Chains A and B, each alone.
With several copies, the nearest count.
Chain A
């Protein structure tokens, strides 16, 4: 069953991105894990954990369709939402060494959670984060506590003008890292994977697929040809695995199980 999660605070953190603080008792999530967020009579959707401390769960929710739209319009303190989880395998915690985080949009959230939980510092952590524009930026100031942060925007309104993988490319050309963590649009992950080809950095990246059960039973979220379930075998996968996933960057499995070409905007 779900745990009741009362909205403690809800604010628009950026354009189309709602930051939710939910009071809810959960088994302690690890960075990269997600929860299923149920809005009674509306729907249930997967959301990455952006933080969990003192019984307060933090989520960043991009407005997309029915459920996220409803939340954007109705979330105010006191509203009861419902959560189950946390689910999935999160990131391997970095043990020393130099770390590069590559985030796109709300994909920055789980990376922030990772940086915070791992207690990273800008000596060991560089973060390249990309957004559509300066109005879409989230978590950058907070992330600076743990990492040396570089920002990119699609329209050049803040930081590097261009996709975030270009920032990553520049960083990678000047430096060797021990681990690279990526979360964001799947095309971004494909680019990062390409950047790391032939290099020694261990990559871990988080994926999204349509989900139902979230516990590895229904098969809705499976990735071909390895038969990996995003909800249980992921959502975080290693670079070695990602390279063998033919679906990556190409195919999205619809609720009926058919695959359609992955739209560029499939991820927040």
Chain B
């Protein structure tokens, strides 16, 4: 009853590990699968290796989390091996999150990633804390659309990860025209925290990406708007999913699947089973036989 299809990928349930969260190794991917996730998104991978920023790169706040990891990753060449291992050991779909400073770079990373086994590509054009590789890219809708078009030709689904910091409806439209298979929404929201005793920003990078339960109302709205503007286009809803109720809220808004990110800090990998069980029980109680009936249901009157 929980199976969904998202942009051609078959998921045993609508939970997806969000990008950047544990997505660094095949060994963690396996644990995430065993914990019950329906799909796995890798950490965003770029052409060259990136060390990321100095610590502190992660802050636990009262209502959410801030991070400015800085797209740390081993680079696609090195990550290729992890992708191969993922494909060997996993039965859930592996979505490769791709980052870069230009369309050319995105395409290059995606191409190599697909060669190494990625079953879908998610374009991260919305990281809020890396200059040149983040949100700015999303502002250049034509360039992103160009990359979408080329990657589409590799024969795998292409999801575009959106941010509230974009004119996301316009970007979404341009990407759809170029053949995008769907959207992931939302990435973290630009934010920062200052320690009142240190009297300094906590993140070494000063600014970071805000995630966790606090951003859910923002994510719900973006998903709702996307569903309204592009009915039928699959959306992975991400942002503040910290239990089955939150997952359901995004599904009702229009998400076919939901990403789980920083909630793992609080609930660890058990959150996947918790969501799956919660959704099942809800559906039984409320008389739904397929999760698909719930997708976008809040739009119908």
| A-contacting residues, B185-218, CB 8 Å | 193, 195, 197-198, 200, 202, 204
Residue numbers in A under 8 Å from B22 (CB-CB): 216-219, 222, 229
Of B27, B49, B193, which contacts A226 at CB under 8 A? B27
Contact status of A215 and B265, CB under 8 A, knowing A256-B73, A257-B43: yes
Residue numbers in A under 8 Å from B153 (CB-CB): none
Contact status of A1 and B20, CB under 8 A, knowing A40-B195, A218-B67, A256-B51: no
Of A4, A215, A258, which contacts B58 at CB under 8 A? A215
Number of chain B residues whose Cβ lies closer than 8 Å to a Cβ of chain A? 48
Is B75's CB within 8 Å of the partner chain A? yes
Q: Is the CB of A219 within 8 A of B28?
A: yes
Q: Is the CB of B24 within 8 A of A257?
A: yes
Of A84, A218, A227, A229, which contacts B30 at CB under 8 A? A227
User: In whole angstroms, how far apart are the Cα atoms of A115 and B67 in the complex?
Assistant: 37
Q: Is the CB of A43 within 8 A of B204?
A: yes
Is B109's CB within 8 Å of the partner chain A? no
Q: Is the CB of B51 within 8 A of A82?
A: no
Q: Is the CB of A258 within 8 A of B25?
A: no
Q: Which of A82, A214, A227 has the most CB of B within 10 A?
A: A227
User: In whole angstroms, how far apart are the Cα atoms of A232 and B21 in the complex?
Assistant: 14
Q: Which of A45, A84, A212, A220 has the most CB of B within 10 A?
A: A212
Contact status of A256 and B50, CB under 8 A, knowing A1-B59, A224-B27: yes
Residue numbers in A under 8 Å from B261 (CB-CB): 217
Is B57's CB within 8 Å of the partner chain A? yes
Number of chain A residues whose Cβ lies closer than 8 Å to a Cβ of chain B? 37
Is A254's CB within 8 Å of the partner chain B? yes
Q: Is the CB of A1 within 8 A of B55?
A: no
Residue numbers in B under 8 Å from A255 (CB-CB): 51-52, 72
| B-contacting residues, A71-94, CB 8 Å | 80, 82, 84
Of B23, B67, B195, which contacts A82 at CB under 8 A? B195
Is A41's CB within 8 Å of the partner chain B? yes
> Secondary structure of the A side of the interface?
loop
| A-contacting residues, B71-89, CB 8 Å | 72-75, 78-79
B269 to A, closest residue via Cβ:
A216
Q: Is the CB of B202 within 8 A of A2?
A: yes
A2 to B, closest residue via Cβ:
B195
Residue numbers in B under 8 Å from A1 (CB-CB): 59-62, 193, 195, 202
Is A123's CB within 8 Å of the partner chain B? no
Is A225's CB within 8 Å of the partner chain B? yes
Q: Is the CB of A212 within 8 A of B75?
A: no
Is A112's CB within 8 Å of the partner chain B? no
Is A213's CB within 8 Å of the partner chain B? yes
Contact status of A232 and B58, CB under 8 A, knowing A40-B198, A40-B200: no
Of A220, A222, A232, A258, which contacts B78 at CB under 8 A? A258
Residue numbers in B under 8 Å from A208 (CB-CB): none
Q: Which of B24, B52, B268 has the most CB of A within 10 A?
A: B24
Contact status of A258 and B74, CB under 8 A, knowing A217-B265, A219-B21, A219-B22: yes
Binding site for B on A (CB under 8 A): 1-2, 4, 36, 38, 40-41, 43-45, 80, 82, 84, 211-220, 222-229, 232, 254-258
Binding site for A on B (CB under 8 A): 20-31, 43, 49-52, 54-62, 65, 67, 69, 72-75, 78-79, 193, 195, 197-198, 200, 202, 204, 261-262, 264-265, 268, 301
Q: A216-B265, A255-B52, A256-B73 are in contact. List 18 more A-B contacts (CB 8 A).
A: A36-B55, A36-B56, A43-B54, A44-B204, A217-B22, A218-B20, A218-B21, A219-B21, A219-B24, A219-B28, A220-B72, A222-B24, A225-B26, A227-B31, A256-B50, A257-B73, A257-B78, A258-B75
17 contacts between A and B (CB under 8 A): A4-B198, A38-B198, A43-B55, A43-B204, A213-B57, A215-B60, A217-B58, A218-B20, A218-B58, A219-B24, A220-B24, A222-B24, A224-B25, A224-B26, A226-B27, A257-B24, A257-B73
